């Protein structure tokens, strides 16, 4: 069995106000069945129905359906990296539509700031299972287990927004004091001294990944 992740970009950002306090939500298609996706994989609807039912019972209904910001390397949700809470996951035909509230956590606050900077965020499901080749399509086998319905993942504009935040000295970059001033200075020097646009893009991506990894 291997870790299987799937990214979906059809996500809306919603703001709700209650008792004078604003809450940010993301909503959209979290899981897709019976269709070959861009990774060349297909999830049988029966498998997703079974796993979503278990996920709703074990996690959503009990308020434990957490997700992370970025691409975790394993199936376990790390509480210190949680950025949102999935509040609903319902079937619509062959798809499953979800809704998640962005949390007031270090990673949740980064997600909010990225959205404020105009970064388009998507969601990525995470689970473990095996694949079987059928007519040129990798079909997810019946042993699949859903770990989380949605991590928040960014499009390629996220590293640019992060770098702009560094250059402009924006508070959210400091992530509640977890990133040291010397590290910010080191990143700045690396970007300023990049010998080519290709190296600059690579260093931007590396800096952003390093930033998420330190939280």
Residues with a catalytic annotation lie at 71, 124
Task: Kindly state the tokens that stand for 82.
Answer: 């949680």
Nearest Cα to Cα of residue 102 among 118, 124, 87? 87
Task: Kindly state the tokens that stand for 44.
Answer: 């049988």
Q: Are 174 and 187 in contact (CB under 8 A)?
A: no
186 CB neighbour count, 10 Å cutoff: 13
Residue with tokens 């004091």: 177
Q: Which stretches within 69-120 are classed as H helix?
A: 106-116
């Amino acid at each position: 069995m291997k870790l299987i992740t799937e990214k979906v970009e059809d996500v809306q950002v919603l703001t709700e106000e209650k008792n004078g306090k604003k809450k940010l939500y993301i909503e959209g298609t979290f899981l897709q069945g019976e269709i070959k996706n861009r990774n060349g994989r297909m999830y049988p609807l029966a498998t997703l129905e079974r796993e979503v039912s278990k996920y709703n019972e074990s996690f959503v209904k009990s308020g434990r359906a957490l997700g992370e910001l970025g691409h975790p390397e394993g199936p376990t949700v790390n509480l210190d990296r949680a950025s949102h809470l999935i509040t609903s996951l319902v079937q619509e035909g062959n798809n499953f539509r979800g809704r998640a509230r962005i949390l007031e956590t270090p990673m949740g606050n980064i997600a909010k700031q990225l959205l404020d900077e105009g970064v388009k965020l998507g969601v990525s499901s995470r689970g473990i299972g095996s694949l079987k080749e059928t007519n040129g399509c990798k079909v997810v086998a019946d042993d699949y287990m859903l770990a989380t319905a949605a991590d928040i993942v960014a499009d390629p504009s996220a590293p640019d927004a992060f770098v702009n935040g560094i250059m402009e000295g924006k508070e959210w970059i400091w992530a509640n004091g977890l990133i040291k001033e010397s590290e910010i200075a080191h990143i700045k020097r690396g970007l300023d001294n990049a010998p080519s646009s290709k190296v600059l893009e690579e260093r931007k991506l590396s800096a952003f990944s390093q930033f998420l990894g330190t939280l």
